Amino acid sequence: MQNLEKYSVELEGIDIRFNEPLSQYTYTKVGGAADFLVFPRNRYELARIVKLANRENIPWLVLGNSSNIIVRDGGIRGFVIMFDKLNNVTVDGYTIEAEAGANLTQTTRIALHHSLTGFEFACGIPGSVGGAVFMNAGAYGGEIGHVLVSCKVLTPEGEIKNLDARDMRFGYRHSLIQETGDIVISAKFGLAPGVHQNIHQEMERLTYLRELKQPLEYPSCGSVFKRPLGHFAGQLISEAGLKGYRIGGVEVSEKHAGFMINVDHGTASDYEKLIAHVIKTVKEHSGVTLEREVRIIGEA
């Protein structure tokens, strides 16, 4: 681990935690420590961290709510940047502007509060706004690309840019940000006026469906695999006889075979082994190659 003492003036005022275990932040409850976990309060602090890291060749990466990643047990070298303190949400007419660290579910509740429709689909996705834009998160027929108007990013070179949604190359769980390495700072969503009671009912309905079908009572990273063309990952895994299959403390959920749940102090290594086993077994059984949706980062 590098010593940051010599940069204390440059990093003054920024909330930095050293050798911080990431398992307490990740949805899977696995993952080693980050050398330096930082919580910028605004885009200027963020820019200072990225500038310093680039100049000194210290690796850095950003995390949102860590609901779509597995951090390996060896942890992450350099800076891990989290946006918990950049979470302001404002409403102007039919537009909601949310900072990257805003909770997506809470943002949909703010839309409800203002009787704005279009965001109901996202009401149970446990990501941050930044992570949701990066992933083009979606559910029940909706996706971020349908409601995004524009977003503000910090480029890896330290420049702030405004990106129009039409230029975001949204696809299934894909956005331009995955190609450029930009950091999403904030996003603007365009919604429509609706009827409060109808929006509320739809959100309740989708929440009910989620609770019915997903093992939300356990740590997980949501659907581990992307939906293969013409198939459902959960169904293929189930047909391969893998429901309940366990390696270490991680198990293929009985309730939804597309989820892998941490049932007993599982590790990232358990997750990786189970993912590899499921891919191999499903390929042998159905000929379909499953592709991971969840991202695996850090050192083994």
Ligand X SMILES: Cc1cc2nc3c(=O)[nH]c(=O)nc-3n(C[C@H](O)[C@H](O)[C@H](O)COP(=O)(O)OP(=O)(O)OC[C@H]3O[C@@H](n4cnc5c(N)ncnc54)[C@H](O)[C@@H]3O)c2cc1C
**Which chain residues interact with ligand X by CB under 6 A?**
27, 61-69, 83, 100, 125-128, 130-132, 134-135, 137-139, 177, 183-184, 214, 216, 220-222, 295
> Between the CA of residue 100 and those of 45, 129, 134, 168, 255, what are the distances in Å?
14, 5, 10, 16, 32
Whether 97 is a known active-site residue: answer no
For residues 31 and 51, give the distance between their C-alpha atoms in angstroms, rounded to a whole number.
26
Residue 213 vs 280, nearer CB to ligand X: 213
What phi and psi, each to the nearest 5 degrees, are found at residue 285? -80, -40
Residue 83 vs 170, nearer CB to ligand X: 83
Whether 223 is a known active-site residue: answer yes
Which residues make Cβ contacts (< 8 Å) with residue 296, sequence separation at least 6?
69, 70, 72, 268, 271, 272
What is the nearest approach in angstroms of ligand X to the Cβ of residue 80? 9
What phi and psi, each to the nearest 5 degrees, are found at residue 71? -90, 125
Q: From 243, 253, 270, select the one nearest 218 (Cα to Cα).
A: 253
Residue 196 vs 299, nearer CB to ligand X: 299
What is the nearest approach in angstroms of ligand X to the Cβ of residue 129? 8
What is the nearest approach in angstroms of ligand X to the Cβ of residue 272? 16
CB 249 within 8 A of CB 270: yes
Q: Which helix (H) or strand (E) holds 50?
A: helix 43-55
- Which residue among 67, 186, 220, 223 is the active-site one? 223
Residue 107 vs 220, nearer CB to ligand X: 220
**Distance from the first to the final alpha carbon of the chain:** 16
Residue 132 vs 199, nearer CB to ligand X: 132
What is the nearest approach in angstroms of ligand X to the Cβ of residue 130? 2
Q: Where are the beta strands (DSSP E) in 11-132?
A: 15-21, 33-39, 60-63, 69-71, 76-82, 89-92, 95-99, 116-117
What phi and psi, each to the nearest 5 degrees, are found at residue 157? -85, 0
- Which residue among 97, 128, 173, 253 is the active-site one? 173
Whether 175 is a known active-site residue: answer no
What is the nearest approach in angstroms of ligand X to the Cβ of residue 26? 8
Residue 32 vs 222, nearer CB to ligand X: 222
CA Rg, the chain, in Å?
20
What is the nearest approach in angstroms of ligand X to the Cβ of residue 107? 12
Residues noted as catalytic: 173, 223, 293
